[in-house]
Amino acid sequence: MEQIDYFRNIAYREMERLAAQGLYPEGFGKEAYEDMKRWEKTVRPDMLFCGAPHILIPHAPLGRGEPVQDVVIAGTYFELLCASRGLGAVMMTFPLSVLNLMPEIKAMLEIPEEHYIGMMIGFGYPQIPYARGTQRTVEQKRVHRLSFTNSDT
Ligand SMILES: Cc1cc2nc3c(=O)[nH]c(=O)nc-3n(C[C@H](O)[C@H](O)[C@H](O)COP(=O)(O)O)c2cc1C
């Protein structure tokens, strides 16, 4: 069995066991969790890791340098790298909240406890060719342009 499937099964089972006891990932109540379970029937069968065949988890030690920015940069560049090689990528934070409920299973990832994890990135050859045009326009009101005048000083 692929390593990711082994891990996915263990984490998924535990997520369901905890949910049955009323323990949901941070930011998810019963209703949101049950919505997600329903989407598994229509959107994708694995809402935990989005069915990803591979997962990258950038992490960096807290208290040294800029771990938050560093891992977000690593994640975003990795997504671009995937796109440039014809791979699909999906950024995920839901599994982080899920794994925080199960420290022993999270420890299987061998990420030191004092490390910051910003996201997980699932990637692999896409099942579905998905074409979406580049969004070339931005609503002007979303850009806040400063306009200083001499009278400000
Ligand atoms: C920081 C971040 C975290 C996300 N976490 C999840 C997640 O845990 N699970 C999920 O299904 N989608 C998550 N998403 C959404 C997907 O990564 C993706 O943006 C969404 O499925 C839309 O994909 P598309 O832009 O290719 O259409 C997250 C997105 C971001 C930016």
| pLDDT score at 127 | 84
- Cα atoms in the Cβ-side hemisphere of radius 13 Å centred on 115: 17
CB–CB of 26/100 below 8 Å? Answer: yes
Burial of 122 (C-beta count, 10 Å sphere; 0-12/13-18/19+): buried
CA 50 to ligand 1: nearest atom: 11
At 85-131, the pLDDT tens digits run 999 999 999 999 999 999 999 999 999 999 999 999 999 999 888 77
Separation of alpha carbons 8 and 48, rounded Å:
8
The reply to whether ligand 1 has any atom less than 6 angstroms from the CB of 93 is yes
Mean pLDDT for 124-140 is 84
The reply to whether ligand 1 has any atom less than 6 angstroms from the CB of 98 is no
At 6-35, the pLDDT tens digits run 999 999 999 999 999 999 999 989 999 999
CATH number of 2-129: 3.40.109.10
CA of 90 from ligand 1 middle (Å) equals 6
Task: With cut-offs at 50, 70 and 90, classify the pLDDT of residue 152.
Answer: low
Q: Structural domain boundaries of the chain?
A: 2-129
Residue 117: phi and psi, rounded to 5, are -120, 120
Q: List the residue whose alpha carbon is closest to atom 18 of ligand 1.
A: 90
